[in-house]
Chains A and B, each alone.
Chain A
């Protein structure tokens, strides 16, 4: 049984693949998922999930103002910026997809 619709997952991940790449990656990811499926044999009834090895919950600190980077310092790393803003292509609804 096939696990994955790669074109769909690629869209979720915002990754562009050529048709040829889609085929190649799909085969590889299928193999990996088949391997991962060995976990189905493990009985985990009543077991709590571990998301984090230390038993940490929320870590709080005083909400104190502190210096931050200037707008110029941040924007000079951006591929494109204008004035005080990051510049991006037009955000329009794309009906072709």
Chain B
């Protein structure tokens, strides 16, 4: 058996008992990538292997010798980071993200850049300028997005674990589609210094792993306050692994919102029935009366707020200081227009247009301010619900992974595949997706738990208990 198939915990134990070495593990991961992920016709979780020489700075630490893959929007000093966009091709970062420093200080080996939707704009990994990633569970299907590469490599055993980023579901939905574990931490839990910004009031970095225990370990390493990110919270980081010691859920109250119970697809209904049964068996009390009346507007709010912030963040890509510049331009204005016209893909342009429109004179109050007010109502719904329950339960996505090309023609249909994930970003709360059940067609269905701010421990406890029950 290849060591690439192991979890981080399994590898650490093998290292401790001298049954395997860090070099052997890395060799196995590299060779798995070269056999399974060699070109764009394969799963294509990784963008390039040439510039993926492993990077390690410490030989000891909680992640000593564990290879970790990074999404292409997380900066590593001296390495390319391009957000899977033509406009950033060839950009070599002058500094490392705080999460990268933390991983390196913990002994991890940084290996590989994973594919993503361009600038994280998408739910299928199909908007990448490098071509799409495929789902290892069924290569005709998408891996989800935007962190599609980060989820696919973990599912395909071409990585031990990875980091992704989540603005509206970009960690959880691909984790669900690929059958792995993905955590979007509380807004402010993990520093975003060195994460190329998409929507600054929503973005969070989080781990994607083969099981809940690895996920808790990775978050323990990357979480915490950082003076380089003024939005990172000065809240102490608990030992997330402690939360996994007791797998009983007695005394735990989990809400199953009324609004979610209605309008479930057959696959989602099957998932929820099985999930409720398992959680009750573990001792949790399911509260079916909690209500989140405004979450039905989450997608509407998101497609004002996120593009508005994106249009502002992406203004920096102008062909002056870094990245791509269009050739032969007559003056500065046409240089900007041509550079951005060539450099950005279709979805990026749509979002920049939407955001620019929402923020433009005459529409700002009707769109942006209105959306921010409805965002308050969505957040209030969660505040009320968490007075009654410890966590909330819902599917991660309405369906299992869809086919490549199935939703690319209709942007709105693609947007609606995030209906269950977006509200956690708008409210700033943590949420985790774990493999919950299999669809009629045998594909993974993600089960999502949400909790109040900084209650990642609660999520790990419930998720771990559920995972144990499935074994």
Q: Which of B365-390 contact A (CB under 8 A)?
A: 367, 369-377, 379
Nearest CB on A from B37, distance (A): 29
Q: 1/0 per residue B68-101: CB within 8 Å of A?
A: 0000000000000000000000011010000000
Residues facing A in B295-310 (CB within 8 A) are: 297, 299-301, 303-304
Give complex CA distance A92, B321 in Å.
Answer: 20
A33–chain B nearest beta-carbon distance, Å:
8
CB distance from A74 to the nearest CB of B (A): 7
Residues of chain A lying within 8 A (CB to CB) of residue B318: 14
Q: In the assembly, what is the distance between CA of A86 and CA of B332, in Å?
A: 12
A77 CA / B188 CA spacing, docked (Å): 30
**Residues of chain A from 23 to 46 with CB closer than 8 A to chain B in the complex:** 25, 28-29, 31-33, 35-36, 38-40, 42, 44
Looking at chain A's contact residues, the main secondary structure is loop
Flag whether A1 is at the interface (Cβ < 8 A): no
Cα A84 to Cα B350 with chains together (Å): 36
Give the most central of B332, B354, B367: most A CB within 10 Å.
Answer: B354
CB closest chain-B residue, reference A56: B231
**In the complex, what's the smallest C-beta–C-beta distance from B365 to chain A, in angstroms?**
10
Interface string of B324-346 (1 = CB under 8 A from A): 11000111111111101110100
A65 close to chain B: CB less than 8 A: no
CB-nearest residue of chain B relative to A36? B300
Q: Which of B201, B321, B370, B379 contacts A74 (CB 8 A)?
A: B321
**Which residue of A is nearest B304, CB measured?**
A36
Task: Provide the bound-state CA to CA distance between A91 and B330, in Å.
Answer: 9
> CA of A90 to CA of B311 in the docked complex: distance in angstroms?
25
Across the interface, do A31 and B412 meet the contact criterion of CB distance under 8 Å?
Answer: yes
Do B91 and A77 touch across chains, with their CB atoms under 8 A apart? yes
CB of B403 within 8 A of chain A?
Answer: no
**B370 and A44 contacting across the interface, CB-CB below 8 Å:** yes
Across-interface contacts of A77 in B (CB, < 8 A): 91-92, 94, 321-322
B62 to chain A, nearest CB (A): 27
Nearest CB of chain A from residue B219's CB, rounded to whole Å:
18
List residues of chain A with CB within 8 A of the CB of B92. Answer: 77
Closest CB in chain A relative to B187 CB, distance in Å: 5
Interface residues of A in 11-69 (CB under 8 A from B): 12-17, 25, 28-29, 31-33, 35-36, 38-40, 42, 44, 47-54, 56, 59, 61, 69
Contact of A9 with B319 at beta-carbon distance under 8 Å, contacts A39-B300, A53-B428 already known: no
* Among B336, B353, B372, B415: residue with most chain A CB under 10 A: B353
B372 and A42: CB pair below 8 A? no
* Mask: chain A, 67-97; 1 = CB below 8 Å from B; 0 = not: 0010001100111100000101111101001
* Bound complex: CA A15 to CA B343 (Å): 10
Given A9-B357, A36-B303, A39-B304, 12 extra CB contacts under 8 A: A4-B353, A14-B318, A16-B334, A32-B412, A42-B294, A50-B376, A54-B188, A77-B94, A79-B325, A92-B332, A94-B333, A97-B333
- A sample of 30 inter-chain contacts (CB < 8 A) reads A9-B360, A13-B311, A14-B337, A14-B340, A15-B341, A15-B353, A25-B350, A29-B357, A35-B300, A36-B300, A36-B367, A38-B297, A39-B300, A44-B377, A47-B373, A47-B377, A48-B376, A49-B375, A50-B373, A50-B379, A77-B321, A77-B322, A78-B320, A79-B319, A79-B320, A86-B321, A88-B332, A88-B335, A89-B332, A92-B332
4 A-B pairs with the lowest CB-CB distances in the bound complex, closest first: A53-B428, A16-B341, A49-B372, A79-B325
